[in-house]
């Protein structure tokens, strides 16, 4: 069982993060979840889903939504400085910020630690643990690209949610699963969300 820190910020793309959370818990991982106030707004807008202000309420609601799971979920407030991921003495095995706003990306690139999300990301970089950012914005400005390059040089993985089409997606869920599968691959978590390139497929 791995401990994965999952942070949700206020970019569009909450379907990716909720599907990722579901897959991580179903695969038996321990997930430490934290989300911004803007993510709560986007969840309501995109999924008609209310992310509660109180972590304990969120744990209960998410457990009910996903049903029987083999993993373990803990939710932390964005200002909970006693959360495990706030310290290099107890970091997770990896962290994903999905979706990642350009503001959060810039803060991480600048080494700012104003809340638990950016502090946890800073811990991942300094402890050289996997940090995956899923930036949902288009087009990217030069500032965005420079920040991504800076983070890539620091060891982070920049994984924009760009779905492929070679697996012939039939629904929006298929497109979401393609991106989530890429994140799971980088986390080293097994899945069967999509067929891999070359499986039952040959180019003529």
Has residue 83 been placed in a domain? Answer: yes
pLDDT tens-digit profile of 111-157? 999 999 999 999 999 999 999 999 999 999 999 999 999 999 999 99
115 to each of 4, 57, 122, how far by Cα in Å? Answer: 18, 20, 11
Q: How confident is the model at residue 203 (pLDDT cuts 50, 70, 90)?
A: very low
Mean pLDDT of 161-184: 94
Has residue 15 been placed in a domain? Answer: yes
Angle 111-7-180 (CA atoms, 0-180°, nearest 5)? 120
- Residue 185 phi/psi, 5-degree rounding, is -60, -45
Has residue 71 been placed in a domain? Answer: yes
Question: Nearest to residue 181, comparing CAs of 71, 169, 103, 49?
Answer: 169
Has residue 64 been placed in a domain? Answer: yes
6 to each of 64, 183, 203, how far by Cα in Å? Answer: 19, 11, 37
- Residue 135 phi/psi, 5-degree rounding, is -80, 125
Has residue 200 been placed in a domain? Answer: no
Q: Please count the structural domains in the chain.
A: 1
Has residue 76 been placed in a domain? Answer: yes
Mean pLDDT of 28-35: 97
Has residue 125 been placed in a domain? Answer: yes
CA distance 134 to 136: 6
pLDDT tens-digit profile of 79-97? 999 999 999 999 899 999 9
Residue 101 has pLDDT above 90, yes or no: yes
Res 46: pLDDT: 97
Res 156: pLDDT: 98
CATH number at residue 96: 3.40.50.1950
Tell me the residue range of the domain where 180 lies.
Answer: 3-187
Has residue 201 been placed in a domain? Answer: no
Rounded to two decimals, the pTM is 0.94
Q: Which residues pair with 97 in a beta bridge?
A: 7, 133
């Amino acid at each position: 069982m791995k401990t994965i820190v999952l942070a949700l910020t206020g970019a569009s793309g909450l379907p990716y993060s909720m599907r990722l959370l579901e897959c991580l818990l179903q695969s038996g991982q321990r997930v430490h979840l934290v989300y911004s106030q803007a993510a709560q707004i986007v969840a309501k807008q995109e999924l008609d889903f209310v992310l509660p202000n109180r972590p304990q309420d969120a744990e209960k609601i998410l457990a009910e939504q996903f049903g029987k799971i083999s993993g373990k979920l803990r939710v932390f407030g964005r200002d909970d400085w006693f959360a495990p991921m706030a310290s290099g003495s107890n970091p997770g095995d990896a962290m994903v910020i999905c979706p990642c706003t350009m503001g959060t990306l810039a803060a991480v690139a600048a080494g700012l630690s104003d809340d638990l999300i950016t502090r946890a990301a800073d811990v991942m970089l300094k402890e050289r643990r996997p940090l995956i950012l899923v930036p949902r914005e288009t087009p990217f400005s030069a500032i965005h690209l420079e920040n991504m390059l800076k983070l890539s040089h620091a060891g982070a993985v920049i994984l924009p949610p760009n779905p492929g089409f070679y697996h012939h997606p039939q629904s929006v869920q298929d497109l979401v699963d393609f991106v989530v599968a890429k994140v799971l691959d980088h986390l080293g978590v097994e899945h069967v969300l999509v067929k891999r390139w070359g499986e039952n497929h040959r180019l003529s």
